C-alpha cells in the first residue's frame, strides 16, 4: 500500500538522493497506487532543497489537479523556494491560490514572503501583509521574526520606534536578538545617545547584553576611531567571563599590538606577538604590517625578514605597503 511506498521514498529523501527518489516515484506511479499528501510532501521537499524547482512546481500543480490538495507545509515549501529564486510574483500567485482554495497560510508563509519582499524594498506590499497578519491573528499573528525583518529593512533612525511600538501593541515581546539588531542599527547610524538608551534598557529588562551585544559595540566603536572605548567594552566582556568571537579577539589584539608599536616599545610588541602566536590564531596582513613597520623602524632587520618570509609561507601575502617597507630598509 501507499504507506509502505512512503517509507521507502522518505528514506531516499532523507538521504538527499534525488535520483533514487525520482526513480522510486516513477515506480509508485507505475504501481497504479495514488500518492497521498505525505508522498507528495516528501518528494516536493527534497526537490526544492536540491534546487529542482521546475519539477517541484509540476508536482505541486498535479496535486491540485488530482484532488490531493497541498497543505500549508507544502505550500510554504513552494513559496520559500520561489522566493529564494527571486520569483516573487509567482510566490505571491501561489499565496493567493492558497487562500482561494481554502489552504490557510500561517505565520511561516507570511514571514517567507516578507523576508524576501524586504530584500527588494517592496515595503508597501510588506506592510500590507503585516496588516493582514495582525487582523487575522491566531496562527498568522506576527512574531519576533516578522518584526526583525521589518527592522532590518529600515533606513532611518526615526522609523525604529514605529516598528517597536507596533510590535508591543500586538503583544510581541522584545528579545535579546531584537535589542542587538536595534543596537546595530543605531551604531551604524552613529546615534550614540540611542545606543546608550538601548544598552541600558536591555540591561534593565534582563535581556542582555550578551556576547553579540559586546561584539557590536567593540566593532562599531573601533570603526569610528574610538579605540579606547572599544577596549573598555572588550575588557568588560572578558571580565564577565564571556568568550569573544574570534574576529573580535583578533581585532582587539591588533589594537593592542598597534598601540605598543605606535609607542615604539619593541619589547612589549614582541611579547604580545608571541602571545598572538601562542593563541593558535594566524595573524592577518594588518597584524604583520604593524609589527614589521616597528621592527624596521627600530633597525631589527633580521627579525623583520623572518616575519616577511613567514607571511608568504603561511599564505598571508604581503601588500604593497609591507613590501615597500622591506625594500626601503634593505636599501
Q: Kindly report the length of the chain.
A: 331
Q: What would the grid cell of residue 182 be?
A: 536595534
Domain boundaries in the chain?
Answer: 174-244, 247-331
Q: What would the grid cell of residue 59 be?
A: 508536482
- Cα of first residue to Cα of last residue in the chain, in angstroms, is 84
- List average pLDDT for each run of 10 residues in the chain, which is 331 residues long: 83 87 88 88 93 94 91 96 96 94 94 96 96 91 96 94 93 94 96 96 94 93 86 89 86 84 87 84 85 89 91 90 90 83
pLDDT at 149: 97
Contact 111, 87 (CB under 8 A): no
* CA dihedral over 41, 44, 50, 53, signed as positive or negative: negative
pTM of the model: 0.80
pLDDT at 275: 84
pLDDT at 10: 83
Cα–Cα dist 231/221, whole Å: 9
pLDDT at 256: 83
pLDDT at 198: 96
Going from the C-alpha of 54 to that of each of 51, 60, 277, the distances in angstroms are: 9, 10, 51
Amino acid at each position: 500500500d501507499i504507506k509502505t511506498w512512503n517509507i521507502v521514498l522518505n528514506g531516499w529523501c532523507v538521504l538527499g538522493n534525488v535520483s533514487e527518489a525520482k526513480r522510486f516515484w516513477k515506480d509508485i506511479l507505475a504501481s497504479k497506487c495514488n500518492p497521498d499528501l505525505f508522498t507528495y510532501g516528501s518528494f516536493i521537499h527534497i526537490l526544492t532543497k536540491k534546487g529542482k524547482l521546475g519539477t517541484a512546481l509540476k508536482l505541486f500543480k498535479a496535486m491540485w489537479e488530482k484532488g490531493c490538495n497541498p497543505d500549508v507545509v507544502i505550500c510554504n515549501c513552494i513559496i520559500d523556494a520561489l522566493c529564494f529564486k527571486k520569483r516573487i510574483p509567482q510566490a505571491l500567485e501561489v499565496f493567493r491560490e492558497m487562500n482561494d482554495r481554502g489552504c490557510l497560510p500561517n505565520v511561516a508563509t507570511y514571514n517567507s514572503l516578507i523576508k524576501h519582499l524586504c530584500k527588494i524594498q517592496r515595503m508597501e506590499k510588506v506592510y500590507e501583509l503585516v496588516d493582514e497578519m495582525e487582523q487575522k491573528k491566531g496562527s498568522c499573528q506576527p512574531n519576533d521574526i516578522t518584526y526583525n525583518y521589518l527592522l532590518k529593512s529600515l533606513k532611518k533612525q526615526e522609523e525604529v520606534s514605529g516598528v517597536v511600538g507596533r510590535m508591543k501593541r500586538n503583544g510581541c515581546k522584545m528579545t535579546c536578538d531584537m535589542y542587538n539588531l536595534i543596537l546595530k542599527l543605531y551604531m551604524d547610524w552613529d546615534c550614540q545617545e540611542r545606543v546608550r538608551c538601548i544598552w541600558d534598557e536591555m540591561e534593565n529588562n534582563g535581556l542582555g547584553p550578551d556576547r553579540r551585544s559586546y561584539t557590536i559595540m567593540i566593532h562599531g566603536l573601533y570603526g569610528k576611531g574610538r579605540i579606547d572605548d572599544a577596549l573598555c567594552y572588550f575588557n568588560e566582556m572578558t571580565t564577565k567571563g564571556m568568550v569573544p568571537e574570534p574576529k573580535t579577539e583578533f581585532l582587539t589584539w591588533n589594537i593592542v599590538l598597534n598601540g605598543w608599536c605606535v609607542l615604539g616599545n619593541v619589547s612589549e610588541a614582541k611579547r604580545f606577538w608571541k602571545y598572538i602566536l601562542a593563541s593558535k590564531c594566524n595573524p592577518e596582513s594588518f597584524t604583520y604590517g604593524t609589527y614589521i613597520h616597528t621592527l624596521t623602524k627600530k633597525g631589527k632587520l633580521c627579525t623583520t625578514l623572518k616575519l616577511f618570509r613567514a607571511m608568504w609561507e603561511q599564505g598571508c601575502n604581503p601588500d604593497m605597503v609591507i613590501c615597500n617597507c622591506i625594500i626601503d630598509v634593505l636599501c
